[in-house]
Amino acid sequence: MVTNARLQVIGILVLGVFLLPTMTTAQQLALTLMPVPASVQSGTGSLRVDSSFSVALSGHTEPRLDRAVARFLRQLARQTALPLSLKPVKAAKATLVVQTDHASKEIQEVGEDESYVLEVGANGAKLTAPTVLGTLRGLQTFLQLVDVSPDGFAAPSVTIQDKPRFPWRGLMIDSARHFIPLEVIRRNLDGMEAIKMNVFHWHLSENQGFRVESKKFPKLHEMGSDDLYYTQDEMRELIAYARDRGIRVVPEFDMPGHSTAWFVGHPELASGKGPYEIERKWGIFDAAMDPTSEKVYKFLDEFIGGMVRIFTDHFFHIGGDEVNGKEWDANPKIQTFMKTHGIKNNQALQAYFSERVQRLVVKHGKAVVGWDEVLVPGVPKDIVIQSWRGQASLAQAAKQSYRGILSNGYYLDLGWPAARHYAVDPMDGAAASLSPEEKQRILGGEACMWAEYVNPENLDSRIWPRTAAIADRLWSLQEVRDPASMYARLDFVSARLEWLGLAHRTYYHRMLQRIAGPAPPAEFAALRTLADLVEPVKDYTRSQTAPAEATSLTPMNRVVDAIPLESDAGRHFGELVNQFLASACRDAATEARLRAQFTVWRENDAKLQPLAQRSFLVKEVAATSQDLSALGTAGLAALDAIAKAQPAPDAWKAQQLAIIEQLKKPKAQLLLMPAPAVQKLIEAAASGGACAAPKP
Ligand code: ACM
């Protein structure tokens, strides 16, 4: 039964996108639920959601559940603008009855039961879960079910049986390179709850900042943070806030590298002579802890001992990535130590350090998480490897009995489209051939938000909505993989996340307004048209293409900082071109839409230029604006050539493709996203294929 329903839903997920006008309930569901539940069976009719909507708790109760219901009702009220009462009611009277069998663990653990069953009928709804965590997940599913209908807000009749595929579904936020205030972290935790993620990995120390108050070693935050750090009380509150949402908090203190900020107040920990200053540049630096110094281990023992009193999770992340070893090479005392102890190279020296630190973490009752680099022979088996360098190391770890999580492929800062992240699965590649027992050791994955080019204004738009695609990958069944369905659901979830308080769309608009200054609506609209069609340069090319070297003090107020990392308009345009080509260029309605877009682009630059004279931030994108107009002209020429119904001459093709090559080159660190799709039209016009053939 479950299998059939599941297959039905997956089939619908694929088809649903194309069936909008005559959708059934199941098809509608396929457009809204993210992640996709393990099993969905649609019924008939729907549950009306009006201002009489109420919730009753039964079975196990605890204050966390009361708060969850209050939060649920507040979010439902935001989504619908219905004036809902937060007062609890008796089960017999409630619209939604929530039955929780028992408590979850006091300190949330990896692999706890998060399952739930949600039954919605025309007369009421019931959510049943073995544990509080399952209840939290089911409440979020209910919120995604409620939508506008012809006669009010409603949730479709449905029975959902659900549980996650992976127990570790994380988001890492680097609040060390740029400090991220707690209110911004909190709203991102709200977003994580909405899409059922359950680990917040908090990257708290870096070359550019030490972001944690240390009572024992106050010089760490006093000298290493520019006064931008979290107090111990604030961190405790944040952990409680996360726990309320069924989210574990794993702190990361990166060592022995990525650690300059520690040494500003404590140069005695470093391998170099010092003095050290907070690093302002980006990259990999020489500063590293001294693995040969007993003082370092004594310090770390006390430091970790203090931190585990705040960070209650079983796991403690010690980083371990990207040590270049230069300070070790240059320090005679370290070289002598290595010779005396038979330590052959820097990798072995780091292994020695990792092993010592791991023992300290274990002594304080915790287990270590570390980046790939910490996986060296002999490390204790209860370590979790976080793979950033590739899937192979995840499989390698699993074979050696280590547990692991995948982050390679989930780096949000690389600016990939959601579909590219979505295509990455922890069980693909080398992991696919592991034994069932080894596969069990792959706990899931984490999206990683590194913060070189991220600040409180644009953090949300770097994380959302793309992270929801990764959440879908980690919760939903492995066969749920269709990118068209994912994008349809992502659009829905993205809008919902704004109701939750995330600001990925609103800040984009506000930042563009600052860039434009006071501007007539037509000029601002021209800026928006351009900004909607560009994306920042990809992968690690941002620093290579920078007009001047960026540092942690560089303002992030440019168009490249404001725009989303994935252009929806660019993607939709590409789909339109594909649709036109799939019709052998005969679909007149699509052609008309393409022509209309190209005409808007061609005219856009003239509208934008006055603004470029008034704002230096618009002036920076003036050349890109000219490129967009040139792209509009090229697109119109391609459509004209296609309309002639004979292959366009080679010379024309060469000339047009040369233009496109120019337009594809990044300017102001921006990529003009529709350029490759226009290239397809040019190639179609010049080929001997169907698009250039006489029409029947
Ligand atoms: C990393 O990206 N260096 C973990």
Residues classed as catalytic: 322
Confidence at residue 31, expressed as pLDDT on a 0 to 100 scale: 75
Give the Å distance between the CA of 509 and the centre of ligand 1: 31
The CATH number for 91's domain is 3.30.379.10
| CATH number of the domain enclosing 246 | 3.20.20.80
Q: Is residue 644 part of a domain?
A: yes
Task: Compute, in angstroms, the gap from residue 637 CA to the centroid of ligand 1.
Answer: 46
* 665 shares a domain with 582: yes
Any atom of ligand 1 within 6 Å of the Cβ of 388: yes
Residues 474 and 601 in one domain: no
Confidence of residue 689 (pLDDT cuts 50, 70, 90): confident
User: Closest ligand 1 atom, CA of 386?
Assistant: 4
Q: How many domains does the chain have?
A: 3
Residue 489 inside a domain? The answer is: no
> From the alpha carbon of 258, which atom of ligand 1 is closest?
3
Mean pLDDT rounded to a whole number for the chain: 94
Give domain status of residue 499, yes or no: no
Phi, psi of 273 (to 5 degrees): -80, -25
Convert the pLDDT of each residue in 248-289 to its tens digit: 999 999 999 999 999 999 999 999 999 999 999 999 999 999
Judgement on whether residues 136 and 197 belong to the same structural domain of the protein: no
Q: Is 665 exposed, middle or buried (0-12, 13-18, 19+ CB in 10 A)?
A: exposed
pLDDT score recorded for residue 22? 53
9 pLDDT band, cuts 50/70/90, is very low
Question: Per-residue pLDDT tens for 594-627?
Answer: 999 999 999 999 999 999 999 999 999 999 999 9
pLDDT at position 357 over 50: yes
CB neighbourhood size of 238 (10 A): 19
Closest protein CA for atom 3 of ligand 1? 321
Looking at the structure, tell me whether residues 345 and 474 fall in a common domain: yes
State residue 23's pLDDT score.
61
Q: List the one residue out of 58, 41, 31 whose CA is nearest residue 492.
A: 31
Separation of 254 CA from ligand 1 center, angstroms? 10
Is the beta carbon of 371 within 6 A of some atom in ligand 1? Answer: yes
Any domain includes 263: yes
Domain assignment present for 490: no
Of 125, 145, 162, the last residue of a domain is 162
Q: Point out the ligand 1 atom lying closest to the alpha carbon of residue 411.
A: 2
Report how far residue 125's alpha carbon sits from residue 76's, in angstroms, rounded to the nearest whole number. Answer: 15
Percent of the chain topping pLDDT 70: 96
263 lines ligand 1 (CB under 6 A): no
CA of 407 to the centre of ligand 1 (A): 9
Asked if 240 contacts 227 with a C-beta cutoff of 8 angstroms, the reply is no
Task: Kindly give the number of the ligand 1 atom that is closest to the alpha carbon of 371.
Answer: 4
- Of 128, 162, 196, the residue at which a domain comes to its end is 162
Query: Is residue 434 domain-shared with residue 533, that is, in the same domain?
Result: no
pLDDT above 90: percentage of residues in the chain = 90
Given 162, 183, 200, the domain boundary residue is 162
Residues 328 and 202 in one domain: yes
Is 485 part of any domain? no
Query: What average pLDDT does range 433-461 have in this prediction?
Result: 97
- Counting every residue written for the chain, the total comes to 696
Beta-bridge partners for 449: 173
Residues 187 and 254 in one domain: yes
Q: Whose CA is nearest to atom 2 of ligand 1?
A: 388
**Structure tokens of 308?**
């585990």
Regarding whether 531 and 461 lie in a shared domain, the answer is no
Same domain, 526 and 420: no
- The answer, yes or no, to whether residue 588 has pLDDT greater than 50, is yes
Full domain range(s) for residue 174: 168-298+307-478
CA 574 to ligand 1 center in whole angstroms: 33
Q: Does 400 share its domain with 355?
A: yes
Give the residue, out of 285, 388, 394, with the most ligand 1 atoms within 8 A of its beta carbon, to mutate for a pocket test.
388
- The closest of 278, 293, 290 to 208, measured between CA atoms, is 278
Tens of pLDDT along 29-80?
A: 777 899 999 999 999 999 999 999 999 999 999 999 999 999 999 999 999 9
CB 411 near ligand 1, within 6 Å: no
Statement to judge: residues 563 and 646 lie in one domain: yes
Asked whether the predicted pLDDT for residue 534 surpasses 50, the reply is yes
pLDDT at 217 over 90: yes
Residue 440 domain flag = yes
On whether both 154 and 182 belong to a single domain, the answer is no
Q: Is residue 491 part of a domain?
A: no
